[in-house]
Amino acid sequence: MTVFECGACSHRAFPKRLLCPRCGGAQFRAIAAEFGLLEEVTTSSAGDTIASVRTEAGPLVLAGLDRPLATGSRVRLTRRPGLFAAAAPCEGTA
């Protein structure tokens, strides 16, 4: 999983923007965002589970979950086709 940091002011965002929302800069560098904490979890009537994950790099991302997890759970973020991200529990967490 990757988030993007403005080269001018270091503001981090996801997804990548054309211009930095803080300073208007146009140069970004990729920053790894492998882990995060679940802030909110929603399960649709179709059974799909989506979570708001605060990455350790800073930005909030939406991620699909294979199963519901408790808010506050630490997760590992990966890319999944059709989704911005997928989240799975880290070793030793429920």
The domain that holds 76 is classified in CATH as: 2.40.50.840
Q: In the predicted model, is pLDDT for residue 83 greater than 90?
A: no
Alpha helices, DSSP H only, in 4-92? none
Number of domains within the chain: 1
User: Does any domain span residue 56?
Assistant: yes
User: Does any domain span residue 34?
Assistant: yes
36, 77 in Cβ contact below 8 A?
A: yes
pLDDT per residue over 38-79, tens digit each? Answer: 999 999 899 889 999 999 999 999 999 988 899 999 999 998
Q: In the predicted model, is pLDDT for residue 19 greater than 80?
A: yes
**Three-state DSSP class for residue 46:** coil
Q: In the predicted model, is pLDDT for residue 18 greater than 70?
A: yes
Q: pLDDT band at residue 94, thresholds of 50, 70 and 90?
A: very low
Residues 6+ apart with CB under 8 A from 58: 3, 12
What mean pLDDT value characterizes the chain? 91
> Is 36 or 68 the better-scoring residue by pLDDT?
36
**Three-state DSSP class for residue 42:** strand
CA 50 centroid distance within chain: 11
User: Does any domain span residue 75?
Assistant: yes
Identify the CA nearest to 38 among candidates 63, 67, 20, 6: 63
Look at residue 68 in the predicted model and tell me its pLDDT.
84
Map tokens 């990548």 to a residue.
Answer: 16
